[in-house]
Amino acid sequence: MTFSRRARWILGIISAAVLTFIYFPLLVVLVNSFNTSKVFAWPPTSFTTEWWARAATDESVRSALVTSLKAATGAALIAIVLGSMIAFAVARYRFFGREPVSFLVILPIALPGIVTGIALNSSFNTVLVPLGISFGLFTVILGHATFCIVVVFNNVLARLRRTGTSLEEASMDLGAGPFQTFRDVTFPAVRSALVAGALLAFALSFDEIVVTTFTSGPGIETLPQWIFNNLFRPTQGPIINAVAAALLIAFILPVYLAMRMSDGPSQVTQVGAEP
């Protein structure tokens, strides 16, 4: 449909304003990463690339990055498996408790992170520690996977609802068994939704700080934890800006891929998160 020139202009200006509002603080981060002053003093009096150099060579940044990648991968994998299982169950079957199950899946992401974090911390202390499993990467992955499930669930569910069962039924009418149908018909149809969900789950876990704080242990430091710990040390501030700017640029590609693989922007938008 066509819109009047005036409407286009007004909307355009508002959109531009909102985008400016969104990106201005990020610009501040970028500028500060070159700021010589260590305490984010504004306006910057002089510039340096020292912080970028330090960020690239800093051992703790690298190990934090690796830890985050490991945790995010683990969480995404678990989320893929569990999320798609529930999505299939809810989409293809009618059963008693179907609504509560969908409700339950949403809870970990709808409830505040601090609640999830404290709850998991209490139960890990009560159950895992006496068994000898101490807090560490394992518990972090457990925590992250819990709220990542819903992201995959939403994506796969939406896709399953859209594709419907007719193709699967046709396949089985033609003689394929359930496994073969799944492999050749169902899976290809949901594959891109799975990938989109997994990418989102990965990103969610990567940036998460609150639940991580409560489920992590000594010697484990994810990238957000590293940022958190170093923000308290006045001398490390600008390196964080450099790391953040780098991450921002690095994430453009995965997000774009997630969008291409799914059915376009509306699929990527099945998201939910906590800081």
Partner 1 sequence: MTQQSTLTVTSPPSGGSSRSVSRFLYRRPRLRLAGLLAAPLLWLVVLYLGSLAIMFVAAFWTTDSYTGALVKQPTLANFQTLFRGEVYWVVAARTVGIALAVTVIDMVLAVPIAFMAAKVVRSRKVRYAMVIAVTMPLWAGYLVKGYAMQTMFINNGVIDWMLAPFGLKGPGLGLAAVTLSLAYLWLPYMVLPVYAGLERLPDSLLEASSDLGASAGHTFRSVVLPLLVPSLVAGSIFTFSLTLGDYIMVKIVGGTTQMWANIIYDNVGIANNLPLAAAAALFPVTVIVLYLLAVRRTGALENL
Partner 2 sequence: MLTSRLLKVTVTGVAVVLLAAACGSSSDTSTGASANSTERPAPPAGTAATAVGAGEGTLNLITWPDYADDGTAGTPNTVGPFQTATGCKVNVKVGNSSDEMVTLMKTGQYDGVSASGDASLRLIYGGDVAPVNTDLVPNYKTVSEFLKLKQWNSVNGVAYGIPHGWGANVLAYNSDVVKPAPTSWGAVFDAASPYKGKITAYDSPIYIADAALYLSKTKPDLKITNPYALDDTQFKAAVDLLKTQRPLISSYWASYADEVKAFDAQAAVLGTAWQVNVNAMNADKKVKVSSLVPAEGATGWSDTWMVASKAAHPNCMYKWLDYIVSPKANAGVAEYFGEAPAQTLACKETSDKSFCDTFHALDAAYADSIAYWTTPTKNCLDGRGNICVDYAAWVQAWTEIKG
Q: According to the binding rule CB under 8 A, does residue 179 interact with partner 1?
A: yes
Q: Are 261 and 188 in contact (CB under 8 A)?
A: no
Q: Are 124 and 83 in contact (CB under 8 A)?
A: no
Tell me the CA end-to-end span of the chain in Å, nearest whole number.
Answer: 38
Q: According to the binding rule CB under 8 A, does residue 9 interact with partner 1?
A: no
Q: According to the binding rule CB under 8 A, does residue 95 interact with partner 1?
A: yes
Q: Cβ of residue 28: shortest distance to partner 2, in angstroms? A: 14
274, 144, 271: which is closest to 220 by C-alpha? Answer: 144
Q: According to the binding rule CB under 8 A, does residue 201 interact with partner 1?
A: no
- Could you write out the DSSP letters of every residue in 79-107? HHHHHHHHHHHHHH---TTHHHHHHHHHH
Q: According to the binding rule CB under 8 A, does residue 195 interact with partner 1?
A: no
Judged by beta carbon distances under 5 to 8 A according to partner kind, the member of partner 1, partner 2, none in contact with residue 248 is partner 1
Residue 272 amino acid letter: G
x-or-dash pattern for partner 2, window 162-201, by CB under 8 A?
----------------------------------------
Q: Which stretch binds partner 2 (CB under 8 A): 64-72, 161-169, 188-196, 234-242?
A: 234-242
Q: Is 217 helix (H, G, I), strand (E, B) or coil?
A: coil
φ/ψ of 112, rounded to 5, equals -60, 145
Adjacent-strand bridge partners of 35: 47
Q: According to the binding rule CB under 8 A, does residue 12 interact with partner 1?
A: yes
Q: Which residue has the tokens 């640029």?
A: 249
Adjacent-strand bridge partners of 237: none
Q: Cβ of residue 275: shortest distance to partner 1, in angstroms? A: 4
Determine which residue in the list 64, 140, 203, 220 makes contact with partner 1, applying CB under 8 A.
203
Q: Based on CB atoms, which residue is closest to partner 2, 97 or 265?
A: 97
Q: Cβ of residue 51: shortest distance to partner 1, in angstroms? A: 13
57/234 Cα distance (integer angstroms): 19
Binding to partner 1 in span 111-170, by CB under 8 A: 111-116, 118-120, 122-123, 126, 142, 145-146, 149-150, 154
Residues sharing a CB contact under 8 Å with residue 76, sequence separation 6 or more, in sequence order: 148, 198, 199, 201, 202, 205
Q: According to the binding rule CB under 8 A, does residue 106 interact with partner 1?
A: yes
Q: According to the binding rule CB under 8 A, does residue 40 interact with partner 2?
A: yes
Q: Are 201 and 270 in contact (CB under 8 A)?
A: no
Q: Cβ of residue 143: shortest distance to partner 2, in angstroms? A: 15
Q: Cis omega (within 30 of 0) on the bond before 43?
A: yes
Judged by beta carbon distances under 5 to 8 A according to partner kind, the member of partner 1, partner 2, none in contact with residue 236 is partner 2
Binding to partner 2 in span 97-126, by CB under 8 A: 97, 99-100, 103, 125
Give the total of residues touching partner 2 (CB under 8 A).
Answer: 26
Q: Are 193 and 158 in contact (CB under 8 A)?
A: yes
Q: Are 67 and 220 in contact (CB under 8 A)?
A: yes
Residues that bind partner 2 (CB under 8 A): 37-41, 58, 60, 97, 99-100, 103, 125, 129, 134-135, 217-219, 229, 231-237
